[in-house]
Amino acid sequence: MNRSRIDWTDYTWNPVTGCYHTCPYCYARRQSARFAGDVRLNLADPRCEQYQGKEGLYVLHEPFITRNERSISYPFGFAPTLHEYRIDWPGEVKNGANIFVGSMTDLFGDWVPNEWIRKVFESCEQYPQHNYMFLTKNPQRYAGLYKDGNFPYKENYWFGTSCTTPSEEFVWFRDTPYKNFVSIEPILEPFGEIDPDSFPDWVIIGAETGRRKGKVIPQKEWIQSIVAQCRTQSVPVFMKGSLREIMGEEFVQEFPAGLLRKAVSPKLKKKLWENCKFCGAENPKKEMIALLYRKKRGESAKRLGYACPKCFSKFAHAK
């Protein structure tokens, strides 16, 4: 279990990793490539166990440690993998927290066996002190599991749908008791008018990150339109840090009842927040760029301070 850099959750828990969607903006696929090692060599390892003999699905019973004592988080690349040794990880956090389940996968993708999903739900039931948040681009799987009676209802479960355009379906939760949310990230175009009967309990909005060619920079008006419609339905809106510069004073991070976080103490804020060295704006460290320097080659880098993305961009492109 890892403390999360995703600003709408406290922890990320990945008992399953890997995905067969082909989203061009996927950060998880990029990250897995960095921590996969030599996938061809890993696939030849005796620990490379296929799930019930099925090609493209793998099971790891213990962490994958290489001969040089290096731990590999994604030994099979982005192929869907069940990490059985992670199933009980929520028990490591004693106090209740908001946990995003499956930040490095789509747990409800069509390729994921029902058994894997059942194992995850069983662990969630074992540690009920937490809120568990699930997110999928395949909400039809939610509906199918619900219809078949394989979808448990718990007050601390939140089921989300990820969409990037208004044409994508996110109204699966109609006529169900489940707490639900929609993550519009990255937002790729204006959403227009949303059906009043389609509003979830919570809306998250974010911009595309990374340096992908063709990266979409959202317009402020797109966000304002969604927020205005959410206000008419009394639906809280959470804007990810990627929208902070675009929205300016209109930037908001609202949580629904049940997911509200405790106010950050001055001591903790001093530890997690910093002022920009250029404009003085105060932001979470995880949303800023660390400024490092070395006096001479080979010396460890030292931190000079932090810069907000806007000032860093000006500094980096200054002639």
Indicate if 7 and 145 belong to the same structural domain: yes
The pLDDT tens digits for 186-231 are 999 998 888 887 789 999 999 988 777 878 899 999 999 999 999 9
Indicate if 234 and 296 belong to the same structural domain: no
Gap between the Cα atoms of 129 and 87, Å rounded? 16
Query: Looking at the domain assignment, is residue 261 inside a domain?
Result: no
Question: What pLDDT is attached to residue 252?
Answer: 95
Query: Looking at the domain assignment, is residue 257 inside a domain?
Result: no
Note if the pTM is more than 0.75. Answer: yes
Residue 205 belongs to what domain range?
A: 2-250
Indicate if 67 and 151 belong to the same structural domain: yes
Total tally of structural domains belonging to the chain = 2
The segments of the chain whose pLDDT lies below 70 read 1-2, 169-170, 261-265, 267-268, 317-319
Indicate if 25 and 174 belong to the same structural domain: yes
Question: What pLDDT is attached to residue 236?
Answer: 96
Query: Looking at the domain assignment, is residue 200 inside a domain?
Result: yes
Question: What pLDDT is attached to residue 318?
Answer: 63
The pLDDT tens digits for 219-250 are 999 999 999 999 999 999 999 989 998 999 99
- Residue 178 · residue 170 · CB < 8 Å: no
Gap between the Cα atoms of 189 and 195, Å rounded? 17
